[in-house]
Structure 1
Amino acid sequence: MDKKFTLPFALTIVAAALVGCSSNKVKEENTKPNALPKLVQSKQLVPVFSQSVTASNKNDDLNLQIAADQGVLFIADPKGIVEAYKGKQRLWSTKVSKDEGLSAGVEAADGVVIVGNQKGQLIALDQTSGQVKWTAQLSGSIITASHIQAGRVITVSNDGNVYAHDENSGQQLWTYRLPNVPLSLRGQAAPVQLDPNNVLIATANSYVYGIDVISGVPRLQRRVAVAEGRSDVQRLNSVSTPVMMGQFMVTTSYQGQVTVTDLQQQQVVWSDDVSSRQRPEVTQSKVFVSTDDGKVIAYDLMSGQKLWENDQLLRRNLSNPVLLGSDLVVGDFDGVLSLIDPNTGNLIGRSNTKGQVSSLRVIDNQLYVSTQKGALSVWQNR
């Protein structure tokens, strides 16, 4: 099996700093997170659901997310338990991984719930009963949620292989090998739908691939970022999970760019030099990006014009931004959910959970929050 080295983000930052800097010491004031500014009027979110699971290991951050389907919430505990809730009522609880725990998921659709672990075991459960339907063994660890489309479960293992399994039987239908890279951030971007027939896979080599979900045949290959530097660390250029808006594909990348690509015309519409490990939020007119240094930036989708930039949350290790109703929401290392006016970039409110926010999702106008301390919660606008 091909091997490659993966680095946790914090270690990568240190390595990059050592490569690029001289013996001068970094000023302490430039490394401290910004204090949260006082708000004259503070909007708050309303908690709808909360549940605690086992905290993630600080040296091996996980990105377990809450999933929802048909009004039921599905959550995973790193210790190997998957649970389903209807409101506050627990419908079932299943221990699926006794020794290895869980490191990826949850994804739920078409009556199945999908999770995975670091030993490469992909596990499907029945949404109604919680019984394990099937398991499959992959060639590498699974630390990114799968994607369900057209009766296929699409999964990317951390050694760069893409798998498709039948969602009902677990039969392996095809595999696709992504190009090998010597160094990458911990984890691959999650697969997402390009159109009814194809899925998008972003990689650590600055490219995004489109693969036919039925046959596994590659249909698209686009470079969306450019890396600079002499060392592997300086050229590290992992692309985050893409977002589609009509014919436009929006991507961000670590040590790279935010890029809008017109897939119909097969050309880049615009790009801007911004480093971000987080998936952008996209509307029909705007692109919102949280940068690795803690800025939140809004761009015009078509022109790339920067509409506003908020630097009040610098060095707070921001999550991906999401739109919840009329508010833009971003989480940080301290469990703070900051609300931002998407038209002006002004901070307009905040709410608090526990632990560094690792994942934000909006489903049916509700905010799904996962943190590294194991705080899983659902929120809505007041």
Structure 2
Amino acid sequence: MKRAALISLLATSLAGCSTISSTWNSWFGNEKSKPAALEVLSGPESGRIVWSAKGDNINFPLSIATPGDRFVVASSDGSVRALSAADGRELWRGDAGGKLLAGIGSDGRFAAVVNRDNELVVLDAGRVVWKKALPTPVVAAPLVAGERVFALTLDRQVLAFDALDGRKIWELKRPGEPLTLAKAGVLLAYKDTLVVGQGPRLAGVDPLKGSLRWEAGVATPRGTNEVERLADVVGPAVRQGELVCARAFQSSVGCVNAERGSALWNRVVGGANGIGADDQVVVAGDASDRLSAWKLANGDLAWSADQFQLRKLSVPVLSAKQVLVGDFEGQVHLLDRDTGKTRSRLATDGSAVVSIALLGDTALVATKSGGLFAIKAE
């Protein structure tokens, strides 16, 4: 498994060679490879920071869960906190007992993380109730739903545990892919179906039995070798009504109908991060941080925006007809959803934006140095 992970990391490096080359050139003064300068903005503010908090460093992207009326946040040191979405008030705090390898999932009561010993750790209102060693490495945040905890391993095995006592209920093993990507995959719920990323496909799984219900492709891998054909679906994916949309690594962005279990559309575009969406558009960045928006209904291109090239953008989220995206300097940019034009910008703490999670009309921004900033787009 270690060999597979190393091969996966190598594949990531090879597939992202243009980005590496850009970084190398920027170190040696190639002006074309430097991050785009911040725009001069003169319009009114279109968002505001309503509260902030401080925690430990965060080194993984899926560090925030959004159950009910709260944000549940995991830090790299193993601390887990539930914060009121309204005012940032701490509702409970716990400790997973060690540094973390993957992000967090929560249903409001139970919270689940994976530590660096590859143990699934479940807390109940901040108190550790059980731990379970997993068979292969995990980098995806667990999913907690229906008093069950679901884990997706690096080799795309899915395991289901009872949230109360840690009893393993089922496991789903898929035929091994030649290579898998060492990035968080897709694991989310659609009605009574568990939606899982399996290579370049999304799969619908019965959460009670672990049996496969449907599969739908997000990408059609192409290339002369296994590295070039690597097209794992990466998280986070987004759900809008019956549609689940996701990115296939360096291949495409696409949506599937989770009710029918069929592909709706996909568009060829490079990139390695997850996507954002609302009921109108799907938004994603490519390897050079050019943002594109496609119409949710049919995949037609709505706009492209290149004002943030090489600024190491976070996964975007959409709120109040705006696109929120963070960069390597801790800036949060708010774009018009319909045009891609920048409307305003908010500064955080100067460290890279790692994750943005949306709960109602509040977006919580997490930075690498542990800053938490709740933003309302207006």
CA–CA distance in 2 between the matches of 1:174 and 1:216? 6
Q: Residue 126 of structure 1 corresponds to which residue in structure 2?
A: 124
Q: Residues 127-142 of structure 1: matches in 2 within 5 Å?
A: 127=125, 130-142=126-138
Q: Percent of pairs identical after alignment?
A: 25
Q: 2:43 aligns with which of 37, 41, 51?
A: 41
Q: Residue 326 of structure 1 corresponds to which residue in structure 2?
A: 321
Q: 1:113 aligns with which of 111, 119, 127?
A: 111
1:223–1:269 Cα change, 3 Å: closer
- After TM superposition, the structure 1 stretch with the greater mean CA deviation from structure 2, 61-70 or 291-300, is 61-70
CA–CA distance in 1 between the matches of 2:196 and 2:313? 23
1:335–1:233 Cα change, 3 Å: farther
CA deviation map 1:61-98 (0-9, x unaligned)? 42252334454443222112223344454444333224
1:305–1:15 Cα change, 3 Å: closer
CA deviation map 1:306-340 (0-9, x unaligned)? 11111111121222211122321111222111100
Q: Residue 288 of structure 1 corresponds to which residue in structure 2?
A: 283
Q: Residue 207 of structure 2 corresponds to which residue in structure 1?
A: 213
Q: Residues 361-380 of structure 1: matches in 2 within 5 Å?
A: 361-380=357-376
- Counterpart amino acid of residue 326 in structure 1: K
- Counterpart amino acid of residue 35 in structure 2: P
Structure 2 gap segments, 5+ residues each: none
Q: Residues 44-193 of structure 1: matches in 2 within 5 Å?
A: 45-56=47-58, 61-86=59-84, 87-98=87-98, 101-127=99-125, 130-193=126-189
Question: Under a length normalisation based on structure 2, what TM-score does the superposition of the two structures give?
Answer: 0.87
CA–CA distance in 2 between the matches of 1:11 and 1:268? 26
C-alpha contact 1:256 1:274 (8 A) present in aligned 2: yes
CA–CA distance in 2 between the matches of 1:321 and 1:29? 26
1:30–1:14 Cα change, 3 Å: farther
C-alpha contact 1:105 1:145 (8 A) present in aligned 2: yes
Question: Under a length normalisation based on structure 1, what TM-score does the superposition of the two structures give?
Answer: 0.86
CA-based RMSD of the aligned residues comes to: 2.9
CA–CA distance in 2 between the matches of 1:267 and 1:76? 34
- Counterpart amino acid of residue 83 in structure 1: R
Matched, 1:227 2:207: no
CA deviation map 1:149-177 (0-9, x unaligned)? 22211111224321111122221111112
- Counterpart amino acid of residue 199 in structure 1: L
C-alpha contact 2:111 2:144 (8 A) present in aligned 1: no
Q: How far does residue 263 in structure 1 lie from its aligned partner after superposition?
A: 4.7
> What SS class does the counterpart of residue 333 from structure 1 fall into?
coil
> What SS class does the counterpart of residue 160 from structure 1 fall into?
coil
- After TM superposition, the structure 1 stretch with the greater mean CA deviation from structure 2, 281-290 or 213-222, is 281-290
> What SS class does the counterpart of residue 177 from structure 2 fall into?
coil
> What SS class does the counterpart of residue 5 from structure 1 fall into?
helix
Q: Paired residues, what number?
A: 368
C-alpha contact 1:80 1:95 (8 A) present in aligned 2: yes
Q: Residues 217-366 of structure 1: matches in 2 within 5 Å?
A: 217-241=211-235, 242-263=237-258, 267-353=262-348, 354-366=350-362
1:150–1:306 Cα change, 3 Å: same
1:249–1:365 Cα change, 3 Å: same
CA–CA distance in 2 between the matches of 1:307 and 1:294? 17
> What SS class does the counterpart of residue 235 from structure 1 fall into?
coil
Structure 1 gap segments, 5+ residues each: none
CA–CA distance in 2 between the matches of 1:160 and 1:299? 28
1:225–1:123 Cα change, 3 Å: same
- Counterpart amino acid of residue 124 in structure 2: D
C-alpha contact 1:5 1:182 (8 A) present in aligned 2: no
- Counterpart amino acid of residue 296 in structure 2: L
CA–CA distance in 2 between the matches of 1:289 and 1:176? 30
